Structure 1
């Protein structure tokens, strides 16, 4: 599974207006080895790429973000 697939799988499993935490995608990506922290860079890079392409929306506490910087949530485009 790739970081892109992990993000997509989690978003697909949630309500249309729900968001996910990047660490959830990292945990899914890590799988059985459970070393999700080492996968966070991949998730941040995938989030930035998907946001640049307009495929996802990033936000923090309901405020839209252009790029993953500090804490953020990942959601579908409105």
Structure 2
């Protein structure tokens, strides 16, 4: 993993921490927080960071409020802290 990968994961944690425990964030929230003008290029790296965090048991990826398998999720996703 690169330092950029770690920065993206840290930004996901930071944004999730800044909201209520039950809230979700969009990958674009993370990308925009990292870069004003190049945020679109960060969308896939953010999604990869979120998938790594799912594998580590930190977060869940949802679509329409339902937890989905990040390896097969297509279209818009949301990221939230893992729920027990």
Q: Say whether the fold is shared (TM-score over 0.5).
A: yes
Asked whether 1:52 is paired with 2:68, we answer no
Query: TM-score of the superposition, structure 2-length normalised?
Result: 0.82
TM-score by length of structure 1 reads 0.88
- Across the aligned residues of Structure 1 and Structure 2, the Cα RMSD in angstroms comes to 1.4
The unaligned stretches of length 5 or more in structure 1 are none
Q: After TM superposition, which residue ranges in structure 1, 4 or more long, deviate above 2 angstroms?
A: none
Q: 2:44 aligns with which of 41, 46, 71?
A: 41
CA drift at 1:34: 2.3
Give the Cα–Cα distance (whole angstroms) in 2 for the partners of residues 6 and 29 of structure 1: 8
Which segments of 5 or more consecutive residues in structure 2 lack a partner in the other structure?
A: none
Q: How many residues end up aligned between the 2 structures?
A: 76
Shift of 1:48: 0.8
Q: Which residue does the alignment assign to 1:20? A: 25
- Give distance in 2, aligned partners of 1:77 and 1:61: 16
